[in-house]
Every structure is written in structure tokens, then in C-alpha cells.
Amino acid sequence: MPCNNISSGATYLGDGFCFFRVWAPRSEKVAVHLLTPQERLIPLQRAERGYHCGKAAGVEPGSLYYYLLDGKKERPDPASRYQPEGVHGPSQVLGRCNFAWTDHGWRGLSLKELIFYEIHVGTFTPQGTFDAIIPRLESIRELGATAIELMPVAQFPGRRNWGYDGVYPFAVQNSYGGPDGLKRLADACHRHGLALFLDVVYNHLGPEGNYLRDFGPYFTDRYRTPWGEAVNFDGPGSNEVRQFFIENALYWLTEYHLDGLRLDAVHAITDKSALPFLEELADAVHRQANELGRRIYLIAESDLNDPRLIWPRERGGLGLDGQWSDDFHHALHSLLTGEKNGYYQDFGTVEHLAGAFREGYVYTGQYSAYRQRRHGKTPGPAGACRFVVFIQNHDQVGNRAGGERLSSLVDFDRLKLAAGTLLLSPFLPLIFMGEEYAETSPFLYFTSHSDPELANSLHEWRKKEFAAFRWSVQVPDPQDETTFLRSCLHYELHREGRHSVLRDFYRELIRLRREIPALSELSRENLQAGACNREQALLVR
Amino acid sequence: MPCNNISSGATYLGDGFCFFRVWAPRSEKVAVHLLTPQERLIPLQRAERGYHCGKAAGVEPGSLYYYLLDGKKERPDPASRYQPEGVHGPSQVLGRCNFAWTDHGWRGLSLKELIFYEIHVGTFTPQGTFDAIIPRLESIRELGATAIELMPVAQFPGRRNWGYDGVYPFAVQNSYGGPDGLKRLADACHRHGLALFLDVVYNHLGPEGNYLRDFGPYFTDRYRTPWGEAVNFDGPGSNEVRQFFIENALYWLTEYHLDGLRLDAVHAITDKSALPFLEELADAVHRQANELGRRIYLIAESDLNDPRLIWPRERGGLGLDGQWSDDFHHALHSLLTGEKNGYYQDFGTVEHLAGAFREGYVYTGQYSAYRQRRHGKTPGPAGACRFVVFIQNHDQVGNRAGGERLSSLVDFDRLKLAAGTLLLSPFLPLIFMGEEYAETSPFLYFTSHSDPELANSLHEWRKKEFAAFRWSVQVPDPQDETTFLRSCLHYELHREGRHSVLRDFYRELIRLRREIPALSELSRENLQAGACNREQALLVR
């Protein structure tokens, strides 16, 4: 079997045969060190461009292995499908898919139908697993959301993490229920008519358990990110790095039947290639969607207000399907709360919000005092359904010193006003788990790194990041389990008192959005938005 | 006079009045320390966004000054119009333009007409001045070239430098003859029907005499360039940095009547803005060209093979007018010389050259062994006149250990073959000074830094850079004046023996190019190029 016809990682072929493929251009010799069922070394052949591969007999699903690099370093598989013992442990061979999928008729949803419900698996339920989400799908569907969006589930260190410290892009977090758990959730979502999106992180890897640099030039020092080494998307070896992440995207969409990916912080991807990684990724994903006969979307988080992301390739764009609009959030949040610290200093008038309604972004080239430069560009022909908007999300809640949800910052009337602004907007709304019933718990930043020094330095960095906001609250220790436990939802609240009133209000707004043609059309062209500053009123028609 | 209505630097207003404006956001207080005619301190007012400005009386053209930052540091003006004593000396106030321009009817040339003749001022003539070029314009015109392209003339350290170590983007090199010398040359060019282009460096500043970081965040550590700190085109303060360079471009084009700029190494500009600096620059320059009623072009040197540079804005491009094609050179050079070292390993077959004829680039997405990644993108609708091609230029000659011109590497027949390939191509040809008559001197890399340690470390870096080429020649010491002197031209050779035969051949080819419609049309669409590898023949029709 030629090395380039099969994706990286351990691919089980049946009958005890397994194909291993790893990109390790820095190693002359790579062997698989099989730990189970019987310990032995399986040397791989060196193939073109730094790949090493080989077909081995006597390997069963469930076998544990490391790669042995040049007879010296033992490392888990960068493309490991499962890390049952966590980020430092061996990788596991998965069997061929024998999951009993029931979603054969599922073709996905149209972009316009999408109403996201963002979930952090660990805190959404007491169990913190994929399986525990399934019984709640009915109520999410009943609320009117049409898509679940999971925060990242790629294997991260420990059991408590937002997911952005993942270091095995292909491996489903062991403590969430592993690969089969995610498949059961995807299948159940589709049974309920819900799409399932996943947040994936291609701009950096977490600081603990990242062994990729022992294999090859996955990273570069030519650029920096706030979270560590920048991924090498345009230097020597970058085709293989791209291939790794493109295979990753296709893997989630195909193996787990996912309906789309949210690409974390693409502004932290620096890539000067004539064919940028994101363009190549979008092309590969859309071709795969065609082959699968399903509607699949790539939606980027971006801080650039750059419509190039969502413009079609014929117009010089990268061809992604949509992007998050932080500006919409900031405009509404600063209006509702009166906050003017940190990046909120760029917002605070009704006209800002009107701008967000007209353009998707507020900043389309104006000077930003926070950024100390002009920011953004008008999105031109990009339609309203290219923008995902929110009044809360994991970042906007969790990146506050106290992790306060909007419900603990403003009164009930304002919560309703916010909901109306969100759900009657022409954009694709995203609801952060618990938002719809004014959940009382905060959503704090939590980790469970095993290296105390690392944990401490990250905590200090975070405190520094918050300095611009001058929050009076103390930043809780992310490593403290209490910080995690405080962030867990009290989902049953949604049936009680004013919690249930708010939830009913959300449901009613979503119904209106769906049923009134002027709302369901999601048009920016036919929309006029203006601000009456004296009355603090936003007029949209 | 409001601070933002006038460009940075010292603007002489007449009657002894001078307006000073400097961007120094890192300083609370800035004063002009006037050295002549009478020494005194002129405090400036702090204006918006870190500018400091003020109108002063009793300042005459020719006055020398430094800026005094917060009463502590004395620094020359980043936007100095002239540094009569070099990079470390005071800046000089220039008078209002009283140059007797004679080029009133000059409107520039059409893009298709351009045939560049690249000149290094210091080595082109024994005097090494602008004025000494003027008597040679007649023969350049007679050759058939239509545009002079000067290597950078912004003030650099010492008297000997290629120009890429410039540190005062607005100041004409003192040893070349200063501002009036350049004006005399521009005027004379236009009198001869020649356009005048200038090479400008916006991706880095030289390592000696660069005081810009004492003023503000002109640089960033978020990205790196091979030559030093990256210019801050997208971080806090970047609007003012952009404004500095945009004013610079407009200054050359307006004050010196230049017809275009060659933007050095734009691949070393990292800029993730939604409105990239190069797009903003192109827009500003083209608007200025409209106002001036002249044809003005921006042509980028780029190593990216990315047509986005030259695509129009409506197609998502940056809207530059053209770009250099190194691929054309490499394909032809490796065919003619058989060289396969360094980046020439990616070339060497006639098919490579045929590809360059078809697409402008050879690499439009193929894997490059030298770069260890795929490279480039097909330029699509970009026309042939968007590409500047050459068989020699300052880099391709000078960045060889021995600075060998093509004439010392291949026989006379091959020189003629190369000339034919260059001048009958559908692209815009560039001739490197002396190429047309097979100049016998090499073109070596030379500097005259005053810091010996710096000079030494640059020499070491250069030797390392050359390692990939495994040249057997010793790299001459760039600081040694002999290295410079060896590089000076023997222009009178062009009348002698085979030198004059080659020059006549160039002239004849240019005549054919101009007179035969199929050649003057510069069309990629109507051109077919194919390779006959067995006969080593390139078929173009």
C-alpha cells in the first residue's frame, strides 16, 4: 500500500493488519513500539518527504503503541486516534468503524437554518460526557436551536480544560467518553434533526503533552502567537503540516459525521503562501461534502474583520462559509452593561450596534482606540448568513476575571432585549449553554495541567491579559478544581420561575425568526438600520 | 496649521518659516534642536496620535537640526529630506522647490512600452553620481530601453552600498549628489523620453543609523525578516507607520517627478490587516497619479508567486501594477549555465522556461525541492505586462560569491540566445547595467559601514547564505573598497569589438519587439509555449 494513499496515524485494515504512517522528517528510522497485545518493535519504511510507513500483522484494535524515533525517543502518535491514558500515555489503535449509525438519511441543514447552541462537554452536565448530553437534545431542539457546537474535544492534559490546550488533534478526549461517545452524540443529534459542529484549533497546540516538534517542523519561529509557537503553514515542510490538519478536518467530518467545524482564532495563523492553508482547507472540505452528499460548513473565528475569509475564491477570497462577529457582541454588550474597559472602549453607542446590523462588522476601516490603528474592511457582497453572532459565548463570558454571564451583569429586561436583538438579527445566532434560561453559575477559565510551574505561569499570563480591563474581581486559580465545579451548569433551573420565563421568550423569538419571512430571509441588502441616540433606540427594518 | 494636513519632516514655508512634524508617540516632549543658522531649541506641540508639530520662524533652507526627545536623546529626523553629513549627522531643511523643471509635457509611458535599464548609481560611472549618468542617457535611449530603474538612493551609511541598508527613506544619498542631483537626472530622463523608476525598501531598514525605534513602534517583534526587525504594518501605531511610507512614495513621485517605484522584497512585509498596506499604498499612488495626470506604476519584487499582488481590487487583489518574475530568470539561467545549486535545483529543463512563458511564473503550485513545499499559484487573468523579467539583475549577479555576470559564465552564442529570450518575451524586460555589452567587471556586494563588528557579522551571515550554492569562489570582503572598485563599469567597452556586437544585437531585438505587432502586443492569451526537450528547444508562437 503506497504511503500517500492513506492518512496519517494507525489505520486498522482488519484481520490483525494495521497500517502505520507518520511524518517524521527529522528521523532516519522510525519504529512502532507495540505495547499490547504483545510487546514488540515494528520498523517502518522511510518514504518520500519524510513519511515513514508500513503494514504490520498481529495488531488488534485496542493495541497500545508509541513511535520510537531513531531508536531513542518514544513518543505517542501525533495523529493518535485515542489516548486512553492521556496526553503522555501510549496511543491506541482503533478498529474499523463498526458503529451502528442510524443517520443514513441525514443531509445536513442549510446555512440559513443554523442556530447554534454552544456546549462545553465537561461542564454542561454533571457527568461531563458526550452521553450525558444526549438526554438534553430534546429540550435543545424544543428551544429551537438547530445545531450543537462543541468546544474542542481533542485530547488535552488532565480532565478539566476548555479544550484549547489540545495536543492530539485526532483523538477524542478520554474523559469525555472517547471516540464512541462522540459518535453516539452525533448520531443522536441527527436523530433529533440537529447538526453537530466541532471547534477545532489549528493555530497552536497546547503547552503540555505536545510532542510534535520531535517529529518534524510543525512549528516555526518566524511568527508568534499569544499561546505559543506558531504552526508552520508556509515554510519548509508546510505541505505535510497542512496535510495533517486537512486530514484532521476530513476525519472529523467523515468518521464522526460532523456537520461543520468552527476554526479557532484563524487570525493567529500566519501564512504568506500564494495558496493559503485556509483556502486549501475549505476547498478540501467542500469537495468532501460533495462526495458525502451532505451540507458541511467551515466557520472561522477571526479578529481581523477581513471579509477575504468569506469571499468566494473567484473574488480572491478563501471561500470559508462564515465567521464569527465579535463586533456584534461588543456593541451590544457595552450598550447593555455600560462597560467601557478593554476592547469595549471601542463601542458603547447605538450607532455601533446599527453598524453591526448593516455590515456584520462594526469596524470596517475606522480607527480603533483599543487597537491603536484602523481596523477591518467592509464585507461587500458577503450575505448576512456568513456571520455568526452572539450575546454570550465561552470567550466573552469566560475571559472575564469573574466569568460572569450576562445574567449577573444586567437586569431581566435587558436580558430579554439582548435576546431579541440576537435572535431577530439577520445573522446566524449562537447561544452559549445556559444563556437561554439565565444560568446562575459563572463560566470560569479552568485547567488541569500536571506541571505546576506551567500552570502557574499561565495563570500569571492570564492575569496580565486582564490588566486592560481593570476588573476588581480576583482571578480564580484555573488549576483549582473548585473553579471548574463552580462553572458547571444547573440545567434543571430552566424549568423554574424567571429562568423558564426567559427560556420561553427565547423559544418564542426563535419561532418568530423561523416563521416570519422578513426574518428568516437573512438579508443585509433589504435591511436598514439606524440609531436614535437620544432614545437609545435601534431601528431596523 | 493642523498637524495632519502636512507630511512628516521639515516643510519650508517661505519667509524663514518652517513647519516641523514628527511622529514620536514614545515621547512626551519633542523639540527641534536647530544647529544653524543660530543654535536654539524650538519646542513642538503634542498633537493627536503621537504626532508632535509646530511652525517655527527664523529657519532658513539649509538649516541643520536634530530632534530632542524628552530633553534627553538627540536624533536626526526619520523623515529627513537630506543628511548632508551622513546617517549619524543632523538633518537639513530643504527649501521650497525652486528647481527649474523642463518636463512639463511629460505624461509617462504606457506599461507595455516599458523596457527597464537597472542602474546602481555608485558604480555606473566613475563619478558615482546622478549627474554623471546624464551624458549616458542618450546611449541608453539609443539602445531602446525606455525606463531607468535606480537601485535605492535613500541615505545609507558611508559612500558604498547597494542601497538596501538605507535608513532615511526620504533623504537622497549625499554622496550621489543629493536632492538636486536626482532632480536633474529625472528632468534629463524625461527630456530623453525615458521614464525614471526608483527602488524603495519598505520591508526593513538598514542596520546602521536607524534611529526610528527611538521615536515610535516602527518595528514589531511579532514577525521576523532575514535583514532585521520587521516593519510594523498591522500592530498598534501601524497607521502612522503606513502613513510614513505612503507619504514617502508620494514624495518621490511628486517632488522628484518619478514615474514609478520598485518595491523591494514585499514578501518580507508581514501584514494581516483586512486592508493590507500594499493595497492602501497602491490606492494612494494611483490616486496621486490621476491628480498629477501622469502614468505612474508600482512594481513589486516578490518571492511568493502570488498573483494577489497584481490582481485588481475588485478581484480581491492588492492592485499593484506589476511584479518581478525570478522564475523566468532561474529557468533561463539554469538552462544556459547548467547550474543546479541553491534555488537553481528547481529549474533546468526547457519545460520550466516554457512554463514561465505561459504563466509568468514557473511555479504555480508545484512542489519545490528547494523550498520543501508547494509554491505559487496560477496568475489567472493577469496579463503579460504585469511581469518584469530579466536574465541578469543586481541580485542575480551580485548574490553570487564571485558576482559573476552571465557574460563570464557562458559563451557568446548563449548570451545572444539569452537576450533574444528576454527581449522577445511578452513580458517587460529589465536589463542590468552593462549587460547589453557584456561588461567585464563583476557586480559584487559592497558596504561601507562604520561599525567594524556589524560589518563583520554581516559578512559572516552572507557567507552562510551562500552555503546552499557551494560556490568555490571566496566571498570578497564587502567592506574592502577594492570590492566596490572592482564592480565599477567600463562603459566605454560598449563601442568595442564583440561588446559592440552584442549591444547592436540588443538594440536590434528591441527594435523588433517594438515594431512587430505580435511582439509588441504582450499577450499571454495568444501565446503558446512548448518544450522540445530532446533538441533543447523552446517553441513560442
The rounded distance, in Å, linking the Cα atoms of A463 and A449 is 17
Nearest C-alpha neighbor of A150 from the set A393, A510, A425: A393
Total domain count, chain A? 2
Residues A204 and A353 in one domain: yes
The rounded distance, in Å, linking the Cα atoms of A139 and A129 is 17
B98 in any annotated domain: no
Residue that has been written with the C-alpha cell 485496542 in this structure: A62
**Chain B residues within an 8 Å CB radius of A377:** 274-275
Residue A161's Cβ-count burial label (10 Å; 0-12, 13-18, 19+) is: buried
Task: Check CB contact of A305 with chain B, cutoff 8 Å.
Answer: yes
A314, closest residue in chain B (CA to CA): B315
Residues B457 and B316 in one domain: yes
Task: Check CB contact of B5 with chain A, cutoff 8 Å.
Answer: no
pLDDT of residue B535: 63
HSE (side-chain half, CA atoms, 13 Å) at A59: 28
Catalytic choice (B187, B264, B279, B359) = B264
What angle in degrees, to the nearest 10, is found between the helix axes of A326-337 and A412-423? 160
- Digit-coded pLDDT (tens) for A76-97: 999 999 999 999 999 999 998 7
Nearest C-alpha neighbor of A199 from the set A246, A135, A154, A137: A154
Residue A414's Cβ-count burial label (10 Å; 0-12, 13-18, 19+) is: middle
As a dihedral over the C-alpha atoms of residue A247, residue A248, residue A253, residue A256, rounded to 10 degrees, the angle is 120
Q: What percent of chain A has a predicted confidence (pLDDT) above 90?
A: 86
Residues B473 and B511 in one domain: yes
B495 in any annotated domain: yes
Residues A425 and A484 in one domain: yes
Residue A222 and residue A161 in contact, taking contact as beta carbons nearer than 8 Å: no
pLDDT of residue A87: 97
Q: What is the DSSP string of B143-173?
A: HT--EEEEPP-EE-SSS---STT--EEEEE-
- Digit-coded pLDDT (tens) for B416-464: 999 999 999 999 999 999 999 999 999 999 999 998 888 888 888 888 8
Q: Is residue B20 scored above 70 in pLDDT? A: yes
pLDDT of residue A97: 73
A250: left (phi over 0), alpha (psi -120 to 50) or beta: alpha
State the CATH number of the domain containing residue B80.
2.60.40.10
Q: Which of B63, B92, B121 is the last residue before a domain boundary?
A: B92
| Three-state secondary structure string covering B282-336 | HHHHHHHHHHHCCCCEEEECCCCCCHHHCCCHHHCCCCCCEEECHHHHHHHHHHH
**A23: containing domain:** 3-92
Q: What is the DSSP string of A169-204?
A: EEEE-GGGTHHHHHHHHHHHHHHTT-EEEEEE--S-
Cβ contact A274–B373 (<8 Å) = no
B103 in any annotated domain: no
The rounded distance, in Å, linking the Cα atoms of A414 and A536 is 13
B364 in any annotated domain: yes
Q: How confident is the model at residue B533 (pLDDT cuts 50, 70, 90)?
A: low
Residue A57's Cβ-count burial label (10 Å; 0-12, 13-18, 19+) is: exposed
A228, closest residue in chain B (CA to CA): B222
A99 in any annotated domain: no
The rounded distance, in Å, linking the Cα atoms of A66 and A424 is 52
Task: Check CB contact of B495 with chain A, cutoff 8 Å.
Answer: no
Q: Is residue B292 scored above 90 in pLDDT? A: yes
| 3-class SS of residue B21 | strand
The rounded distance, in Å, linking the Cα atoms of B130 and B198 is 13
- Digit-coded pLDDT (tens) for B200-244: 999 999 999 999 999 999 999 999 888 878 999 999 999 999 999
The rounded distance, in Å, linking the Cα atoms of B430 and B191 is 21
**Region B379-392: what's the mean pLDDT?**
94
Residues A135 and A224 in one domain: yes
| 3-class SS of residue B264 | coil
- Digit-coded pLDDT (tens) for A499-525: 999 999 999 999 999 999 888 887 777
Q: Which of B42, B57, B92 is the last residue before a domain boundary?
A: B92
pLDDT of residue A466: 82
- Digit-coded pLDDT (tens) for A487-504: 999 999 999 999 999 999
**Chain A residues within an 8 Å CB radius of B372:** 236-237
**Chain B residues within an 8 Å CB radius of A316:** 308, 311, 315-317
Lowest mean pLDDT among A244-258, A522-536, B506-520: A522-536
Grid cell in block for residue A71: 531508536
Cβ contact B222–A222 (<8 Å) = no
The rounded distance, in Å, linking the Cα atoms of B528 and B426 is 11
CA distance B221 to chain A (A): 8
One-letter amino acid for residue A185 of the chain: L
The rounded distance, in Å, linking the Cα atoms of B226 and B223 is 10
Length of chain B counted residue by residue? 541
Q: What percent of chain B has a predicted confidence (pLDDT) above 90?
A: 86
A453 vs A448 pLDDT, higher one:
A448
The rounded distance, in Å, linking the Cα atoms of B231 and A477 is 38
B97 in any annotated domain: no
Nearest C-alpha neighbor of A352 from the set A323, A375, A332: A332
State the CATH number of the domain containing residue B250.
3.20.20.80
Cβ contact B274–A371 (<8 Å) = no
pLDDT of residue B1: 53
Angle at A435 between CA A468 and CA A461, to 5 degrees: 25
CA distance A206 to chain B (A): 19
Catalytic residues of A: 264, 301
Residues A45 and A188 in one domain: no
Chain A window 58-77: which residues touch B at a Cβ cutoff of 8 Å? Answer: none
Residues B150 and B74 in one domain: no
One-letter amino acid for residue A141 of the chain: R
Longest pairwise C-alpha distance within chain B: 77
Strand partners, A223: B223
Nearest C-alpha neighbor of A270 from the set B141, B233, B499, B222: B222
Mutation to test the B interface, candidates A273, A278, A313, most B Cβ within 10 Å = A273
Strand partners, A149: A118, A197
pLDDT of residue A3: 66
Q: Is residue B4 scored above 70 in pLDDT? A: no
pLDDT of residue A316: 94
Q: What's the start-to-end Cα distance of chain B, in Å? A: 61
Residues A82 and A170 in one domain: no
For residue B17, give the H/E element and its range: strand B17-23
B232, closest residue in chain A (CA to CA): A373
**Region A10-26: what's the mean pLDDT?**
96
A374, closest residue in chain B (CA to CA): B239
CA distance A472 to chain B (A): 26
| Count of H-run helices and E-run strands, chain B | 14, 25
Q: Is residue A538 scored above 80 in pLDDT? A: no
Handedness of CA B235, B238, B242, B245 (dihedral sign): negative
Cβ contact A275–B365 (<8 Å) = yes
Task: Check CB contact of B225 with chain A, cutoff 8 Å.
Answer: no
Cβ contact B304–A274 (<8 Å) = yes
Residues B176 and B50 in one domain: no
Lowest mean pLDDT among A6-15, B82-91, B327-336, B528-537: B528-537
B102 in any annotated domain: no
Nearest C-alpha neighbor of B106 from the set B295, B304, B359: B295
Check if the interface score ipTM surpasses 0.90: yes
- Tally C-beta pairs within 8 A across A and B: 84
Residue A24 and residue A216 in contact, taking contact as beta carbons nearer than 8 Å: yes
Lowest mean pLDDT among A213-217, A440-444, A467-471, B47-51: A467-471
Cβ contact B272–A267 (<8 Å) = yes
A103 in any annotated domain: no
Q: Is residue A2 scored above 80 in pLDDT? A: no
B224, closest residue in chain A (CA to CA): A222
Mutation to test the A interface, candidates B272, B283, B363, most A Cβ within 10 Å = B272
Average confidence score pLDDT of chain B: 94
The rounded distance, in Å, linking the Cα atoms of B468 and B483 is 23
pLDDT of residue B451: 86
Chain A window 311-340: which residues touch B at a Cβ cutoff of 8 Å? Answer: 311, 315-317
Mutation to test the A interface, candidates B275, B366, B377, most A Cβ within 10 Å = B275
Nearest C-alpha neighbor of A524 from the set A390, A428, A404, A410: A428
Nearest C-alpha neighbor of B92 from the set B110, B75, B72, B77: B77
Q: How confident is the model at residue B2 (pLDDT cuts 50, 70, 90)?
A: low
The rounded distance, in Å, linking the Cα atoms of B305 and B376 is 4
pLDDT of residue B473: 80
Residues A250 and A182 in one domain: yes
Grid cell in block for residue B203: 520591508
Q: Which of A44, A60, A92 is the last residue before a domain boundary?
A: A92
Residues A51 and A183 in one domain: no
**Chain A residues within an 8 Å CB radius of B272:** 267, 270, 304, 306
The rounded distance, in Å, linking the Cα atoms of A163 and A212 is 18
B236, closest residue in chain A (CA to CA): A372
Grid cell in block for residue B377: 499559484
Cβ contact B275–A374 (<8 Å) = yes
Residues B38 and B127 in one domain: no
Q: How confident is the model at residue A4 (pLDDT cuts 50, 70, 90)?
A: low
